[in-house]
Structure 1
Amino acid sequence: MPRLFSAYVIVDWSAASKPTTGADSIWIGVLKRDIRFRMAFESFNPATRAEAETRLNAILDDLKKRGERALVGFDFPLGFPRGFAAALSLPGEQPWRATWDQLNKMVKDKADNTNNRFGVGSEINRRMTGGPFPFWGCPPKDALTTLQPKRTREHGPGDLPEYRHADLAAKGAASIWKLYYNGSVGGQAILGIPFVRRLKLTRGEEAIRAWPFETGFKTLTEADLAGVEAVVAEVYPSMLKPQGAPGEVKDLTQVRTTAEHFARLDEANKLAPLFGPPKGTAADIVLDAEREEGWILGAGGY
């Protein structure tokens, strides 16, 4: 069986409010064939999300010209816990897409990285519960009655789940409701989902497929990806416990080792099954992943 992909692009995202490079900023790692057809790695460290968007489109343009399909992994959730779209009374038959469209309407992310992620979390809290829940975490200066620096209460039986099924399968993944502090992914998802949505619209709905929403939560085949330029997936580099070279920035280590990991699996025909659920996964969990929550590539199956 041939490999599903010929290039592996891993994006370590950032919700920073000002231009920044180095540690805790955006890193894009690209593993692709060089002119001698050997796998070669290169990395980019754009200072802003706007620069990252330009760079990623240029990378995909180059791969398209070469006729090479890419796996593009982002280290933030592409979906929210089950029930999110219904709690906001979002329209449509596809909760994941309704959520993407809603975030796109709400998010303001300027070229200098100035953004309103805390305002978006606060407004969603207001619409859902009228208080500072379920989103939490912000600098004290950004605190509002509907968004507080610290968590105000635990999730109860009548609330949306604190974690997605994939977060639990990945063991150690943070809750999307946490918007600030170390290890938070909520702010990254709020700013990242509109970015991925634009990528799809810019390059064509059929050319960029979001896994598992548009591909199905199943083992992928070459036939499934006919005419597809890239598959976008959520990745969680910490699952691989990457080891860096001396002095290497942790974020760079993560994008490099994650790209190499998926390339090795693909070469051995072991990547395709990771696009399906782990053995024994209940049917309702598969449905939640496909319709709204998404999944972390490899979670529960490494």
Structure 2
Amino acid sequence: MPRLFSAYVIVDWSAAAKPNTGADSVWIGVLKRDVRFRLAFESFNTPTRAEAEKRLNSLLDDFKKRSEKALVGFDFPLGFPRGFADALKLPGEAPWRAAWDQLDKMVKDKADNTNNRFGVASEINRRLTGGPFPFWGCPPRDTLTTLQPKKQRPHGPDDLPEFRHADLVADAASIWKLYYNGSVGGQAILGMPVVRRLRLTRAAKAWPFETGFNTLTEADLDGVDLVLAEVYPSLIKGAALPGEVKDLTQVRTTAEHFARLDEAGKLGEVFGPPKGTAADVVLDTEREEGWILGAGL
């Protein structure tokens, strides 16, 4: 069975407010074929998100020149919990795309990593509830009427869900948590506009929104250069090489994991839902929430 992809790119994002390298910064892991068609790994640790986006585009340009299809995985949610777009009264028939478009309008992320992620979250809170909910978590200096350092209350039946379906399956953090260890909200706010730009400027499909939440086949990739997906490296166990920081180990082992599945002809099925997934969960996943590649399988 032929491979679906020639290259596997895993991006460990960061919401840092200043340039940074090493642990807890942006890492890009790339597993691609060398001149002898053997898989070879390389990594890039860019100090800013702007440089990371530039590097990504350079890599993807190179794959396109060689007519190589790439899987590009990002370690942050590509969608919000079901009901988000409706609650914000966002226009359009595709809730996931409406959320991406809205964030693109709101986010200001400068070349030196200065960004307004807390301001964006605060404004979304204002529009959703008029108070510091559902987004929470920030340094004391960034406290606002509609954004507080600590979680203010639990989610009730009339609130947007705290977790997406995939978060519950993967035991992943909630997108509403913006700050502190294990938070992913800030990365998502700053990352979704980047993924949106990649999708709009390339022959790309965003999984599962545009591919469907089902097994991926060669036919699905006809005319497609890259598939953009959400990954969660913590689901994949891998040993560190000497001198590797955790982030580098995670992008390397995640890329290797998906490459091994592809080599064995088993990667396509990872793009589908776990056995027994309810129809309404599949619909929520395709319309708005997204899914974590391989979660629940």
TM-score band, normalised by shorter chain = over 0.9
Corresponding position of 2:132: 132
Corresponding position of 2:280: 284
| AA aligned opposite 2:283 | L
Q: How many residues align?
A: 297
Corresponding position of 2:53: 53
Corresponding position of 1:218: 214
Q: Are 1:260 and 2:263 an aligned pair?
A: no
How far apart, in 2, do the equivalents of 1:235 and 1:86 lie?
Answer: 26
Corresponding position of 2:149: 149
Residue by residue over 1:78-114, the C-alpha shift from the partner in whole angstroms, topping out at 9 and shown as x without a partner, is 0000000001000111000000000000000000000
CA drift of 1:201 comes to 1.9
Q: Are 1:238 and 2:234 an aligned pair?
A: yes
How far apart, in 2, do the equivalents of 1:216 and 1:280 lie?
Answer: 17
3-state SS of 2:141 partner: helix
CA drift of 1:202 comes to 2.3
Residue by residue over 1:158-204, the C-alpha shift from the partner in whole angstroms, topping out at 9 and shown as x without a partner, is 10000000001112x0000000011110000000000111112222x
How far apart, in 2, do the equivalents of 1:164 and 1:277 lie?
Answer: 14
How far apart, in 1, do the equivalents of 2:69 and 2:241 lie?
Answer: 29
| AA aligned opposite 1:46 | T
How far apart, in 2, do the equivalents of 1:241 and 1:176 lie?
Answer: 23
How far apart, in 2, do the equivalents of 1:21 and 1:202 lie?
Answer: 28
Alignment of 1:151-190 (within 5 A): 151-171=151-171, 173-190=172-189
Given the two structures, how large is their TM-score scaled by the length of structure 2?
0.99
Match of 1:247 among 222, 243, 261: 243
How far apart, in 1, do the equivalents of 2:241 and 2:58 lie?
Answer: 28
CA drift of 1:246 comes to 2.9
Consecutive unaligned residues in structure 2, runs of 5 or more: none
How far apart, in 1, do the equivalents of 2:157 and 2:258 lie?
Answer: 38
CA drift of 1:130 comes to 0.4
3-state SS of 1:91 partner: coil
3-state SS of 2:11 partner: strand
Corresponding position of 2:79: 79
How far apart, in 1, do the equivalents of 2:64 and 2:41 lie?
Answer: 18
Q: Are 1:194 and 2:193 an aligned pair?
A: yes
Q: Are 1:229 and 2:228 an aligned pair?
A: no
Residue by residue over 1:256-301, the C-alpha shift from the partner in whole angstroms, topping out at 9 and shown as x without a partner, is 0000000000111111001111100000000000000000000000
Bigger mean CA offset, 237-246 vs 282-291: 237-246
How far apart, in 1, do the equivalents of 2:91 and 2:63 lie?
Answer: 36
Q: 4+ residue runs of structure 1 moved beyond 2 angstroms?
A: none
3-state SS of 2:253 partner: helix
Corresponding position of 1:15: 15
Given the two structures, how large is their TM-score scaled by the length of structure 1?
0.97
How far apart, in 1, do the equivalents of 2:70 and 2:102 lie?
Answer: 27
Aligned-residue sequence identity (percent) comes to 82
How far apart, in 2, do the equivalents of 1:42 and 1:245 lie?
Answer: 13
3-state SS of 1:133 partner: coil
| AA aligned opposite 2:215 | T
Residue by residue over 1:45-86, the C-alpha shift from the partner in whole angstroms, topping out at 9 and shown as x without a partner, is 011010001100000011111111000000000000000000
3-state SS of 2:18 partner: coil
Coordinate RMSD, CA, aligned: 0.6
How far apart, in 2, do the equivalents of 1:243 and 1:115 lie?
Answer: 34
Consecutive unaligned residues in structure 1, runs of 5 or more: none
| AA aligned opposite 1:217 | F
| AA aligned opposite 1:278 | P
Corresponding position of 1:38: 38
Corresponding position of 2:265: 269
How far apart, in 1, do the equivalents of 2:266 and 2:168 lie?
Answer: 23
How far apart, in 2, do the equivalents of 1:164 and 1:193 lie?
Answer: 16
